[in-house]
């Protein structure tokens, strides 16, 4: 059984996915040191989705390549299992809003609006975190990745302020300098809108968090690739905002830009993806 994601205390079904959540099953609730309330400003505009793998392979000392198995994998009881591993690891904070298991099951472990999960340090405040389960032998499954992509696109269209479905260029072996340098606690990543990998935010993670396969699948599904390092997103959006008639284009597709997109035929407020997610 699954009833959906939790957005501002409300259960919202996710089209095409079975989503079990912490309101239905308290074992999915994150421990108090793995999650915190978002403050009012954070709640007002959540503008990033950060994608992870639980194994982060290849990364650190484990440089085995990811193995993408065809089809669907077995359940690993990932919701209870992964939340439990975060809870019992008192040496570090860990948590995410979603866990995607090998069998396409999705687990929602925190409220997308009112709670910030501890998955990406200073990006926690403005972001939703998704952990894609990776086995000890570095395996992922194709259907699992498809489910993760479906979840990302649904979130882009269904967050209170829709998040533009835009992703970085293929990974260059290091985080994107703009994301790291702009990690100022007062205004964390306030000019970044879109879907990024954990590896794009920090040098502490390697290529496999989340790996090229997932990011490439997002591109194939219609996400727009930008050279964030060079500010291509800002330049492109300034032009789009000017075309939309926005008085002071700032290059950041926030709530006013989404409203202008909706008013000009982009029914879900997204530039790239039509209603129904595509
Ligand atoms: Zn990660």
Q: What residue spans define the domains of the chain?
A: 5-229
CA of 232 to the centre of ligand 1 (A): 25
* Alpha-carbon span 197 to 58, nearest angstrom: 14
CA of 231 to the centre of ligand 1 (A): 24
pLDDT at residue 1 in the model:
58
Residues, beta carbon < 5 Å, ion ligand 1: 52, 198, 209
3-state secondary structure of 234: helix
CA of 54 to the centre of ligand 1 (A): 7
CA of 110 to the centre of ligand 1 (A): 17
CA of 70 to the centre of ligand 1 (A): 23
Q: How far is CA 197 from CA 14, 166, 174, 246, in A?
A: 22, 12, 11, 30
Q: Provide φ and ψ at 193, rounded to 5°.
A: -120, 130
* Alpha-carbon span 159 to 1, nearest angstrom: 23
CA of 117 to the centre of ligand 1 (A): 12
CA of 220 to the centre of ligand 1 (A): 22
**Dihedral over Cα of 241, 260, 278, 207: its sign:** positive
Q: Measuring CA to CA, which residue among 209, 75, 52 is closest to residue 141? A: 75
Q: Where are the beta strands (DSSP E) in 157-222?
A: 166-168, 194-197
pLDDT at residue 66 in the model:
98
Determine whether domain 5-229 maps to CATH 3.30.2420.10.
no
pLDDT at residue 3 in the model:
87
Give, in degrees to the nearest 5, the angle at Cα 116 between 1 and 73: 40
CA of 197 to the centre of ligand 1 (A): 8
CA of 263 to the centre of ligand 1 (A): 36
**Long-range own/partner contacts, residues 237-243 (CB < 8 A, 24 or more apart):** 240/271
Sorted by sequence, the CB contacts under 8 Å of residue 134 that are 6+ apart come out as 53, 54, 55, 56, 57, 66, 140, 208
pTM > 0.85: yes
Sorted by sequence, the CB contacts under 8 Å of residue 210 that are 6+ apart come out as 51, 52, 53, 132, 197, 198, 199
pLDDT at residue 275 in the model:
42
For residue range 172-189, list pLDDT tens digits in order: 999 999 898 766 666 678
CA of 52 to the centre of ligand 1 (A): 4
CA of 204 to the centre of ligand 1 (A): 9
CA of 266 to the centre of ligand 1 (A): 32
CA of 51 to the centre of ligand 1 (A): 7
Q: With a cut of 70, list the residues of the chain below it in pLDDT.
A: 1-2, 182-187, 273-278
Give me the torsion for CA of 15, 155, 128, 26, rounded to 10°: -20
CA of 209 to the centre of ligand 1 (A): 5
CA of 128 to the centre of ligand 1 (A): 12
Mean residue pLDDT of the chain comes to 93
* Alpha-carbon span 10 to 200, nearest angstrom: 31
CA of 201 to the centre of ligand 1 (A): 9
H helix and E strand count, the chain: 7, 14
CA of 250 to the centre of ligand 1 (A): 30
CA of 143 to the centre of ligand 1 (A): 20
CA of 268 to the centre of ligand 1 (A): 29
């Amino acid at each position: 059984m699954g009833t959906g994601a939790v957005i501002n205390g409300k259960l919202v079904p996710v089209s095409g996915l079975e989503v079990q959540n912490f309101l239905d099953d308290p074992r999915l609730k994150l421990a108090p040191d793995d999650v915190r309330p978002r403050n009012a400003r954070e709640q007002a505009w959540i503008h990033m989705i950060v994608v992870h793998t639980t194994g982060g392979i290849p990364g650190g000392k484990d440089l085995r390549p990811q193995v993408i198995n065809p089809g669907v994998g077995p359940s690993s009881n990932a919701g209870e299992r992964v939340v439990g591993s975060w809870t019992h690891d008192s040496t570090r904070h860990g948590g995410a809003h979603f866990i995607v298991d090998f069998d396409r099951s999705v687990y929602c472990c925190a409220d997308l609006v009112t709670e910030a999960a501890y998955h990406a340090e200073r990006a926690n405040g403005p972001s939703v975190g998704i952990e894609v389960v990776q086995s000890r032998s570095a395996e992922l499954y194709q259907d699992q990745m498809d489910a993760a992509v479906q979840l990302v696109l649904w979130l882009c269209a269904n967050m209170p302020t829709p998040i533009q479905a835009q992703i970085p260029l293929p990974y260059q072996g290091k985080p994107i300098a703009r994301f790291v340098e702009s990690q100022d606690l007062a205004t964390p990543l306030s000019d970044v809108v879109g879907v990024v990998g954990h590896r794009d935010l920090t040098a502490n993670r390697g290529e496999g968090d989340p790996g090229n396969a997932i990011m490439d699948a997002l591109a194939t599904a219609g996400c727009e690739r930008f050279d964030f390092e060079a500010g291509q997103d800002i330049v492109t959006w300034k032009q789009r905002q000017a075309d939309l008639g926005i008085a002071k284009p700032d290059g950041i597709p926030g709530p006013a830009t989404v409203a202008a997109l909706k008013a000009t035929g982009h029914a879900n407020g997204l530039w790239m993806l039509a209603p129904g997610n595509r």
